[in-house]
Structure 1
Amino acid sequence: MPHAVRSSFSRRRFLGVVSVAGLGTAVLTSCGDSDDGGSTDSQGRTVVEWWHIRTTEPGKTLWPQQAKAYEKAHPDTRIKLVPLENDAFKAKMTALVGTGKLPDMYNTWGGGVLKQQVDAGLTEDITDQVKDWIGDLVPASRVPYEFDGRIYAVPEEIGAVGFWYNKAHFKEAGIASPPATWAAFLDAVKKLKDAGITPIALAGKEKWPGMYYWAYLAIRIAGVDGMQKAADAKDFTGDEFVKAGEHLKELVDLDPFQKGFLGAAYPGPTGQGATMGNAKAAMELMGQWAPNVQSSEGKGLGDDLGFFPFPAVEGGKGKSTDVFGGGGGYALRKGAPKEALEFLKWFVGPENNRVIVKDGGMIPVNTKALDALTDPNLKAVSDLLNSTTAFQLYLDQAYPPAVGQEVNDSVAALIAGSKSPADVARSITQVAKSQ
């Protein structure tokens, strides 16, 4: 499974607190030896222990290659890679947080989980150390890792959610161009149905793909600032969030999804990705990994595949250039050896980022590596990210895990017809206030 696929639906499985029962004591003693540097190996090299989640290709091969390349250029440093599958990583990190000892350098999605580690005094504040080069990184990619003007991690990937569409289906339905407004989007759905084409593929079983619709509608109506205010107040019962649900219900009432969507997963031969990739639906709202999944789970659309941003909502405070997305980054434990930061700087530097973009199929996080991106679909996502006016992190990363889970559950219930728009807003607020 390509990493891009993992960073979508596998990433979603870290919702909630993962049980750590049965973890061996080795898990709890494998990190940095002290808070004043780190450990050394038998050759006297400083050891940087690096926990990452690139357990599938191309990262499974590419990440060790990068470590070896760095060691060759820096013979006094050893990069000790600890690759962990997404869920195993979260479980072990949960255990380590309780011990107060984290790896020298570790994967983070930013947002609420990283903020908890920061508040516990476990994560290094690297603001001053990165000030000379952090400006080279795509501004949107840095947002999840900055709190109160301080920087606690560095991005290594970035992406955004938008609509992937089948150009041939749009042409057959008489849709001249991608819709720019919600009203035009609903009209496009009707035209596709009239042409006998399923408008949208949706993995209703997994809930998070449906959440994207509510989240984007809320962003378009309330604006990113409004999202933050609601999160701070722990109150999502305002008109903007009820209207987001009402607009989503407008879409649901058009019966736009494939037959059996409520039981459909994202991966698999009958999943959302395959439905789109086999040209059995005209659109899907998904992140930058979508083309890979469409090709791996289905046939892929080739030149018929296009991308457009989530439409604007008339009268809303948000703009069509406000982006909903996320990525991954790396943080350092408190007291990590200076060699860890030196490696991190090299890893996200322009030359290495070009290698990752070309060989790993990722969107550049370093603005000096943008020329390495040649895939037209990924370039469309990259262009959106580089022109964004505001950035909203995935809600299950931005909010406490229980709140993110409730957003997923409540929106899924709305799509299934068992909750009203007002019910969704109340349920999310109730859980938020309990945190």
Structure 2
Amino acid sequence: MAARWRGAVAAATLTTLALAGCASGGTSAESSSDGTAEMTMLTFETPNLPASLWDSAIARVSAKVPGIKIKKLVTPNVDRTTYAKQLASSGQLPDIMMAVNPQGFAEGGQLAEFTPEELKDYASPQSGAINGKIYQLPTNAQPQSLLYYNKDDFAKAGIGEVPTTWAEFLDTCAKLKAAGITPIAVGGGGQDTFASVYSWAGVVGTDVFLQDADFDKEIKSGAKNFTDPAFVKATEKIAQLSKLGYFDEEGTSRSYADHEKAFRAGSAAMYPMGSWFATSVDNDKPPFEVGAFAWPSDDGKAVVPNLTGGGMSVSAKAENVELAKKFALEWTKDKETADAFTEADGTFNTVAGYKPPADMGPLFKETLAIYEKAVKDGTVTPAFSIEQGDNGLPAEFTVPIQQIAVELLDGTSDAATVAKKLNDEYAALQ
């Protein structure tokens, strides 16, 4: 597994670097004749975040930061962290980067640190800290592994209430299958392997992180490994769902965009996904009503895996680091930009005093209520494979986790095999 993955990344690196060289002409900042600093900014596009949204926000924020001119770069797929590392390996690290995992970059001295004064307006100013320092603005909270569901399918299967315990969840899946409805949509095809991990992150949140929020630190210190009984127990739940035929068999061959389209077309009754799907539904309703609930736990606690981060990082070698940081900070303070991304991508902005637009749709509000209750109840956990900072696994480990998750979903690996593969992959990275 390790060798196969490294070979694939090496090939992808050569391809994407060649494309980057052709498309961008390099990513280093330059000064124009009038003294304006031209900065490169790495973005990413999804069905929720089209080019037009980025372009308008860049223009708006640039107008508020005199002396800067932004040249937009677009990640060729959703794995922006791997792409940023590929650019960095050839000396082309962008000046400003959106939602790139800072691990590895920060320890290597490649990112600028944000000061406590610059972070004073953030609700979670130490989220994602690396050795106590912040290299990515903790701008957004994005719950992961929520279960969005087709209310028509639930009604057809005679399901009156959403499940809160694992036993109830298994019963719900059984009733759906008996009614001829595939219970759970999964994804992970092509380069979009990230979509494979949401079910797994759900059970790791309930069975591992809720009891031991420092599990990843213990993995990194060597105090534990992935054959830990709690982790294997969580993984066995996903293997059980696969064995019972509760996953969409075609799902792991679909790209992220096709994964969402399939659920909208009725491929399955439940769709484990992040909070951004709520605004996707509110903005473009499918032909059925969608509801949401938290991942079920053994005892009924509503657990919400979450990542608070997602903001901008600045290269330590940008021509004008302070100007680049000013742009990044202004981006988060600009209400129109914050509203635009909240409306498009369901982000829960963590800048102090920010309120989402009052006309946000019903599924966004339902999702936000689930998250806020979990915050109140103390049941927000890290999100497996998506964690960052000192309490996160290495960024290079993310893609192997996602690829192993595909094997778990399609039934080609069991829990014990998966745990051993994770240990082997992790050891190979050290």
Q: TM range, normalised to the smaller chain? A: 0.7 to 0.9
Structure 2: how far apart are the matches of 1:247 and 1:95?
A: 35
CA contact (8 A) 1:406 1:427 kept: no
* Matching of residues 108-187 of structure 1 within 5 Å: 108-110=99-101, 114-135=102-123, 139=124, 143=127, 145-161=128-144, 162-187=146-171
Which structure: greater helix fraction? 1
- Aligned in 2, Cα 1:56/1:208: closer, same or farther, shift over 3 Å? closer
CA contact (8 A) 1:203 1:272 kept: yes
CA contact (8 A) 1:48 1:339 kept: no
- Aligned in 2, Cα 1:30/1:421: closer, same or farther, shift over 3 Å? closer
- Aligned in 2, Cα 1:433/1:185: closer, same or farther, shift over 3 Å? same
- 1:284 counterpart residue number: 271
- 1:400 counterpart residue number: 394
Unaligned 5+ residue runs, structure 2?
1-7
Moved more, 166-175 or 92-101: 92-101
- 1:66 counterpart residue number: 57
- Aligned in 2, Cα 1:396/1:359: closer, same or farther, shift over 3 Å? closer
- Aligned in 2, Cα 1:183/1:288: closer, same or farther, shift over 3 Å? same
SS at match of 2:171: helix
Quote how far apart the aligned CAs of 1:27 are: 5.8
CA contact (8 A) 2:122 2:139 kept: no
Aligned letter for 2:245? D
SS at match of 1:115: coil
Equivalent of 2:202 in 216, 227, 240: 216
Aligned letter for 2:27? S
Quote how far apart the aligned CAs of 1:120 are: 0.9
Quote how far apart the aligned CAs of 1:28 are: 7.8
CA contact (8 A) 1:51 1:82 kept: yes
- Aligned in 2, Cα 1:350/1:263: closer, same or farther, shift over 3 Å? closer
- 2:36 counterpart residue number: 45
- 1:94 counterpart residue number: 85
SS at match of 1:150: coil
- 2:316 counterpart residue number: 334
Quote how far apart the aligned CAs of 1:288 are: 2.8
* Matching of residues 14-413 of structure 1 within 5 Å: 16=9, 18-20=12-14, 22=18, 24=21, 29-32=26-29, 39-54=30-45, 58-74=49-65, 76-87=66-77, 93-98=84-89, 102-110=93-101, 114-135=102-123, 139=124, 143=127, 145-161=128-144, 162-203=146-187, 205=189, 208-223=194-209, 224-233=213-222, 235-258=225-248, 260-261=249-250, 264-267=253-256, 271-290=258-277, 300-302=286-288, 304-314=289-299, 320-325=302-307, 328-334=310-316, 336=318, 337=320, 338-349=322-333, 351-357=335-341, 360-365=344-349, 366-372=351-357, 374-386=360-372, 387-388=374-375, 389=378, 390-393=380-383, 395=385, 398-400=392-394, 403-413=397-407
Moved more, 416-425 or 86-95: 86-95
- Aligned in 2, Cα 1:253/1:195: closer, same or farther, shift over 3 Å? same
Q: CA RMSD in A?
A: 3.5
Quote how far apart the aligned CAs of 1:327 are: 6.5
SS at match of 1:80: strand
- Aligned in 2, Cα 1:280/1:105: closer, same or farther, shift over 3 Å? closer
Moved more, 357-366 or 234-243: 357-366
- Aligned in 2, Cα 1:185/1:367: closer, same or farther, shift over 3 Å? farther
Quote how far apart the aligned CAs of 1:423 are: 1.1
- Aligned in 2, Cα 1:77/1:182: closer, same or farther, shift over 3 Å? same
Aligned letter for 1:30? T
SS at match of 1:306: strand
Structure 1: how far apart are the matches of 2:104 and 2:251?
A: 34
Structure 1: how far apart are the matches of 2:413 and 2:48?
A: 40
SS at match of 2:367: helix
CA contact (8 A) 1:51 1:106 kept: yes
Quote how far apart the aligned CAs of 1:126 are: 0.8
2:408 equivalent to 1:414: yes
Structure 2: how far apart are the matches of 1:427 and 1:292?
A: 36
SS at match of 1:122: coil
TM-score of the superposition, structure 2-length normalised? 0.79
- Aligned in 2, Cα 1:109/1:181: closer, same or farther, shift over 3 Å? farther
Unaligned 5+ residue runs, structure 1?
1-14, 33-38
Moved more, 340-349 or 211-220: 211-220
SS at match of 1:249: helix
Quote how far apart the aligned CAs of 1:294 are: 7.1
Structure 2: how far apart are the matches of 1:57 and 1:81?
A: 21
Moved more, 417-426 or 89-98: 89-98
Quote how far apart the aligned CAs of 1:362 are: 3.7
- Aligned in 2, Cα 1:47/1:285: closer, same or farther, shift over 3 Å? same
Residues paired across the two proteins, number: 398
Identity %: 21
1:255-279 CA-to-partner distances (Å, cap 9, x unmatched) read: 1234x426641457xx542332123
- 1:11 counterpart residue number: none
Structure 1: how far apart are the matches of 2:75 and 2:87?
A: 16
Aligned letter for 2:142? G
Structure 2: how far apart are the matches of 1:262 and 1:358?
A: 28
Moved more, 337-346 or 349-358: 349-358
Aligned letter for 2:305? V
CA contact (8 A) 2:28 2:40 kept: yes
- Aligned in 2, Cα 1:232/1:59: closer, same or farther, shift over 3 Å? farther
Structure 1: how far apart are the matches of 2:252 and 2:23?
A: 40
1:172-213 CA-to-partner distances (Å, cap 9, x unmatched) read: 322222111111100111122233322222236465444322
Moved more, 364-373 or 187-196: 364-373
Aligned letter for 1:174? G
CA contact (8 A) 2:140 2:310 kept: yes
